[in-house]
Amino acid sequence: MTQNRIAEALLRLHRIMVELRGPGGCPWDARQDNDSLKPYLIEETYEVLDALDREDSAAICDELGDLLLQIVFHCQIFAERGIFDLADVAEAISDKLVRRHPHVFADVDESDLEALNAQWDRIKRQENGLAAWGTSALDGIPPSLPALLRAEKILRRFMRHGLSPSFPDAASRLSDLLDGADNPHTPPERKNAERVLGDALLATVQAGLPLGLNAEDALRNTLSGLESRFRELEKTLLDQGLTLESISPEELKRLWEEQPVQEGYFLSSRAKT
């Protein structure tokens, strides 16, 4: 019954998309192409992440539906060009899952997590027509990923081969950089400052890995706390008949420091010494 319901629901969604793109359908939907839909694909992905962060099951269901729509939309555009369709996409990912899990779907006995990771990488390289030598272990990490997420993936590939880049003085160099930024007479040289900041960010990502922490998630959660705190400040001002523009910078700073910080977030401004 459940499988039939899933099949019927997906077929209904596909039929609706075909009708929207077809004669007498929606002019906006019919006008879209793969390039014009890119921003929506990114937006819907991040809205799913937001719903997951809020642990709102109704919102998660709704946002996953919006993301699924984008997948069906792209598939239909390619189907109209005779390249592939939704069935091809579903079959391809099913075949890939079976191929990459021989310890589940074939007679391969493998339970060690490290060996499973090595097996996964080996199968991926074979799928891409790559030899076991002469190519990079970093292949397959998209340059378009958010930088913190890309950093984590690169560092994990390093760690699989026993390498762990070291940034022992990243924190002190960053502190020196920030102190120098406060001095208008000797501003830091941009290229060097960027390198110091990059090393500090990479060291931060690396520090989270042994703890099972994802830097992208950590920053997103902290930003949510920062935004929440700022909105509360705006509400406090509104309750007093004030606006951000109607008070002095000194008064705004005082009210900001008085705003309660949500537990788990470290949002105080950098202390001046």
Q: What end-to-end distance do the CA atoms of the chain give, in Å? A: 68
Do 151 and 201 form a contact (C-beta atoms < 8 A)?
Answer: yes
Q: Which has the closest alpha carbon to 102: 82, 123, 118?
A: 123
pLDDT tens, position by position, 119-156: 666 666 666 655 444 477 788 788 888 888 899 999 98
Q: Does position 258 have pLDDT exceeding 80, yes or no?
A: yes
Higher pLDDT, 183 or 216: 216
What's the pLDDT score for residue 259?
78
Matching residue, tokens 């930024």:
181
In Å, how far from its chain's centre is CA 125? 24
What's the pLDDT score for residue 100?
82
Q: What is the dihedral of CA 201, 205, 211, 214, to 10 degrees?
A: 120
Do 70 and 15 form a contact (C-beta atoms < 8 A)?
Answer: no
Q: Does position 230 have pLDDT exceeding 80, yes or no?
A: yes
What's the pLDDT score for residue 37?
95
Q: What is the dihedral of CA 39, 40, 41, 47, to 10 degrees?
A: 110
Q: Which has the closest alpha carbon to 149: 194, 199, 209?
A: 209
Round to whole Å and give the CA distance between 113 and 98.
18
Buried b or exposed e, range 163-194, using 16+ CB within 10 angstroms: eeeebeebeebbeebeeeeeeeeeebeeeebe
Instruction: Give percent above pLDDT 70 in the chain.
Output: 81
pLDDT mean over 53-72? 95
pLDDT tens, position by position, 23-50: 999 999 999 999 999 989 989 998 998 8
Higher pLDDT, 178 or 153: 153
pLDDT tens, position by position, 55-64: 999 999 999 9
pTM for the complete prediction?
Answer: 0.62
Q: 176 by DSSP, 3-state: which?
A: helix
pLDDT mean over 261-269? 51
Round to whole Å and give the CA distance between 50 and 44.
10
Instruction: Give percent above pLDDT 90 in the chain.
Output: 32
What's the pLDDT score for residue 131?
46
What's the pLDDT score for residue 11?
96
* Domains along the sequence of the chain with CATH: 2-98 (1.10.287.1080), 136-211 (1.10.287.1080), 215-258 (no CATH)
Q: Does position 106 have pLDDT exceeding 50, yes or no?
A: yes
pLDDT mean over 162-172? 80
What's the pLDDT score for residue 108?
67
What's the pLDDT score for residue 51?
92
Q: Which has the closest alpha carbon to 76: 128, 21, 141, 119?
A: 21
The region of weakest confidence among 43-52, 73-82, 212-221 is 212-221
Do 37 and 73 form a contact (C-beta atoms < 8 A)?
Answer: yes
What's the pLDDT score for residue 89?
96
